[in-house]
């Protein structure tokens, strides 16, 4: 029987508004590709699920735990038949916890986690070493089927590591076991030895004049070949 009358309209309006809001929220939250790298969702008893449910502001979507801004704070890719995390893995550089157990991963993952400075818990297959080695983590725990790398260390605070950067540069973490030297304000170039701001105008001026010279040379060469033929 079809609904009719003023009463039916008063029932439909709030229901339609709720549906539209839900659809709008779904469209606004564009999931990063890494969250959909393999089918299924995060398991109920996984470490990522337990971490995500500790904070009401966090949400589980596909294989990710996201904050209200849509930033990845947790990633669960266990049992996804991965030999490597793939090209979209850097999208999860903001993650605090990542689970990669039960995957046939290659052993050397050092550069895979470049930029993952917030990572505090990493779960790996038992035969895959923690990136950066045991010195890059506060605790490495081995279990029957996996291992956990816990508490990423700031190696810039280690004795002697500050000496690896030049006088006008400073050491900053760049992921587990990874460091980089950043020039102080007002310095740039090789070993941060050049003082003053980098001149983009001069750079593009030199690049433009060089490109123009090569283009004219090639054009002249082509004309000579055309006349000869």
pTM of the model as a whole: 0.73
194 and 143, same structural domain?
no
188 and 124, same structural domain?
no
In this prediction, residue 229 carries a pLDDT of 61
In this prediction, residue 228 carries a pLDDT of 66
Position 31 pLDDT exceeds 60: yes
In a domain, 143, yes or no: yes
Cβ atoms of residues 184 and 168 within 8 Å: yes
121 and 190, same structural domain?
no
In a domain, 19, yes or no: no
Residue closest to 174 by CA, chosen among 182, 162, 184, 165: 182
Q: From residue 123, how far is each of 74, 101, 173 by CA, in Å?
A: 12, 6, 21
Query: Which range has the worst mean pLDDT, 33-47, 135-149, 157-171?
Result: 157-171
Supply the range of the domain harboring residue 41. Answer: 31-153
145 and 55, same structural domain?
yes
In a domain, 22, yes or no: no
């Amino acid at each position: 029987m079809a609904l009719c009358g003023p009463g039916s309209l008063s029932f439909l309006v709030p229901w339609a508004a709720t549906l539209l809001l839900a659809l709008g929220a779904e469209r606004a939250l564009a999931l990063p590709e890494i969250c959909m790298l393999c089918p299924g969702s995060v398991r109920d008893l996984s470490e990522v699920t337990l971490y995500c449910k500790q904070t009401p502001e966090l949400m589980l979507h596909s294989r990710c735990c996201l904050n209200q801004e849509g930033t990845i704070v947790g990633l669960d890719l266990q049992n996804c038949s991965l030999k490597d995390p793939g090209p979209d893995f850097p999208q999860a550089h903001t993650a605090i916890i990542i689970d990669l157990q039960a995957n046939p991963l290659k052993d050397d993952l050092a550069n895979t986690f470049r930029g993952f400075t917030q990572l505090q818990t990493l779960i790996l297959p038992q035969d895959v070493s923690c990136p950066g080695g045991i010195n890059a983590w506060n605790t490495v725990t081995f279990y029957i089927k996996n291992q956990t790398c816990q508490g990423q260390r700031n190696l810039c605070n280690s004795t002697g590591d500050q000496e690896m950067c030049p006088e006008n540069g400073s050491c900053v973490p760049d992921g587990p076991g990874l460091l980089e030297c950043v020039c102080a304000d007002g310095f740039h170039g090789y070993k941060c030895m050049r003082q003053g701001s980098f001149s983009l105008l001069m750079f593009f001026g030199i690049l433009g004049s060089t490109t123009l010279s090569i283009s004219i040379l090639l054009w002249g060469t082509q004309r000579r070949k055309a006349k000869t033929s």
